[in-house]
Amino acid sequence: MTVQTETLLGGTDKAAIMVMLLAEEDASRILSQLTPDELRQLAGTMCGIGEVEPQAISDAIAGFSRSTEHNGISGHGRVDNVRRLLNGAVGEVKTDNLMRQVAPEAQEESLPALGLLRWLDPKIIGEILADEHPQAIAVLLLQLDTDVAAAALAALPEDLHTPVLHRVARLGPVSRQAIDILEHTLNAKIEKLHGTIPLTMGGIRHAADIINRSHRSVEKNVMPKIGKIDKQLAKELENEMFKFEHLFVLDMKMTGVLLREIESDTLILALKGLEEEQREQFFGAMSSRAADGLRDEIEARGRVKKADVETAQKEIVAVAKRLIAGGELIMGEGDEDYV
């Protein structure tokens, strides 16, 4: 059966087409809300509808549009609705950060969490926290956007940088009681976090993000000291601070500089683990003939072990680090800082 232009689409047909146009995850959420009878009817239509021509898709979308043209979308409770959607997507802490940026007035009215500290200049935050224990500072930095946290860290005395970042990376669950005590210590300048369960905070990635966004001197000073305290942590931080994906910010010229130092077999394995559009970053730095040849070699290689791909990508990252240290490879804007 083919649904053609002249076919008169029923309501179930249109619904089936609309569901099939959605991403699998979105379609699953919609189907999960149907009754058994509705689900049977819609599933039967989806299985039996056959090929659907473009005009039938347009008719289904137009029908959906007409059915909603007089309904509109209410603005009542919009901020709460958006917050719930974001919570499901990225979690409470990141949602708080986003909502402070897009709806600050609503935040002040409905969310008494984290308050004053988030609105202060990073230098002032550094002054406020300078006399606090590194553990307390780590908890507070993790309530801030990463850029603000990095600036606040820079404003702290240098001897606090290493112990604070060490605790950021190793913090783990933090109880509400600990946060409550911290609030009183700071004279209510920091308001309570949401929820009654412990919040998993910090981690290798978060500490690496703060270091990445800090001035290069922070990395040079902190990393050797962390290595003396915790060698395994230093290794994990270094791996997180510079991943293969970070090479995607290179321009064509710098990508070419890197490629000249990479063995062909290593490059084939590394690119084998990327999506086609990600490979274009590297193909674009080659001649058309070389790029076509590399595409053919990648295709001919067949399936490869994930471990081999990861090893090849790590080898390329190691080459990139060597070139950066020698000033031959420049990341980002070309100053001392790099991603």
CB of 18 within 8 A of CB of 63?
A: no
> What pLDDT does 169 receive?
92
State the Cα–Cα distance between residues 318 and 247, nearest whole angstrom: 11
| Per-residue model confidence (pLDDT) at position 70 | 56
Residues whose CB falls within 8 Å of the CB of residue 138, separated by 6 or more in sequence, listed in order: 164, 165, 167, 168, 171, 202
Lookup result for tokens 């084939």: 268
Helices marked H in 22-121: 24-31, 36-48, 54-68, 78-90, 92-102, 104-110
Instruction: Write down the pLDDT at residue 106.
Output: 55
Eight-state DSSP code of residue 192: P
What's the pLDDT score for residue 94? 65
Over the chain (339 residues), the average pLDDT of each successive run of 10 is 51 80 75 72 77 78 66 56 65 65 55 52 81 87 82 91 93 75 63 40 76 76 90 83 81 90 91 86 89 89 86 88 83 47
Cβ atoms of 110 and 143 within 8 Å: the answer is no
Give residue-wise pLDDT tens across range 123-179.
878 887 888 889 988 888 887 778 888 888 999 999 999 999 999 999 888 776 777
Q: What is the pLDDT of residue 164?
A: 93
Q: What angle do CA 250, 253, 255 make, to 5 degrees?
A: 45
- What pLDDT, on the 0 to 100 scale, is given for residue 100? 66
What's the pLDDT tens digit per position in 259-296?
999 998 999 999 988 888 888 889 989 898 998 999 99
Q: What pTM was estimated for this model as a whole? A: 0.38
